[in-house]
Structure 1
């Protein structure tokens, strides 16, 4: 095998190219506003990577990723608001002071520590997904029932936050000034957040690729296609699904935590049913069964939404719906599936024609005189 065209070389070459684009070309070519916008899209791509594992490889239609995105986002936002209040010498964040409160609620107090906030971002979404998945998958809930349940969870979580004035209510939490001591109004720190988001995304893609290429990845596909046969072989499909679901929630929580300082706000509107479906649309358009399809689909759909909203504000929702219908109806494998189909056809064209080979074999051999 040629080392320059081997699978490992292509993988490392792909990661190197992505690193050059993210850490070299993008900061050099984009303005600060566009770079910050791309950092926001990278957060969406991070959620999409987890959905690609759970839905694309595991067959679990996760319509409630906004819940785990929101848990990570609110955990980070609570710490940032408390840290900003401490810098000002105030006992409570600004929105609580306006409401007349003079003391932090009990469940806010631990988030004054950055270590607690980071632990909550990493552990809480995964823990919630573990408990929810344990109850759902052990009862063999799947298909449309699982999708409806996860969507209902996202709706309930958003409604719960709207009624919690200590969490900002429908306005959410916003106006963050610092991020672990760094001034968020400084353009250099904004770029730092972009680099962090890019590095985390590359690490997440590497993690998911390792899972897909491992024995676990093969078992996950087997559970998706023939769950009863896998159970007959002695494996518990519920445990296999649970791992993918927890990993997807883990990545969504990290994405939410990065989203907060990058965008500067988190509210129930960012974590309900509509955002959860938007995550899914990007994955479907990009190609849910591939590694890079969800990433490119999420970034592409988010970029298209921004471009449409700037020039055609009322038309984006129709364009998004049309794209989803076209992909589901005519290209179920997504855009990445089209490239895979083209490669397969090219390989088939390059194969020798069996009929011609058979005729050639039957031709008499000419003996030289």
Structure 2
């Protein structure tokens, strides 16, 4: 099978197998994984999502560093190809999605049936492959941790990225007043098309002045929940917009700079700071992840949320996918698809 391997840590935007500097190795004869237990399911992957964590993982800058070589990739969707003798939830031909710590940048993957989710009728399978990590992160953060309520004010930084767009949509489903921050007119116009209450273009506006003007026009006191996958100066500026009793969701540091939240101000303002490492819920509270993804799939099937696929690449073009992510060109999700995104039965 085709599989993308990380042979050494380094820049994933270099073409695979191109030179000694390439960190990626595209294999066309990697062994197809066998069923590991009576409840194992083998899935032929249709689509797998590229997340910022995957980029950091190849660079060697992620908090978890797997031994080399490894196949990167986390959330995916596909078609059940084979089932173990004790599998009861799925049959060959079922459409499923899931997530793993590693391994989805390949044509096939094996998972236990307990880790797979049925994709509801009417859901686009590529969209389902983009759902778990980005939308799961925002759903657990906003619904489970912050318990976002109707009419609260939600400020989303990096709002045009994968997790940012998911936070915007989930915020609207929850009935919040959503303020979205992004850079560039194209991204801002897209956010407005999603129905955000206010959008800030960082290329032409000051976030503090713009948001304060909007809050004043709506007679609102401040921001109740800050969703922050960016960090850096933008976080520092956004703290000036928070209400007493506000909640800060620390999602990541796409800016490359870890922000400092003054503890004395957090004390006086009664702020709550939530660190949100979504993947660790798989170890500590897997039921939360399961319930979250089931609700998201239900929302997707009902049209309450949509997944915007910004770029789609083949596995041989994986370095271009990493480049699109690195250069912040994507509005929404960057995907890698197999067989042109078509559902194809294997010839095993």
Normalised to the residue count of structure 2, the TM-score between the two structures is 0.26
Structure with greater contact order relative to length (CA < 8 Å, sep ≥ 6): 1
Q: Mark the structure with the bigger radius of gyration.
A: 1
More strand by share: 2
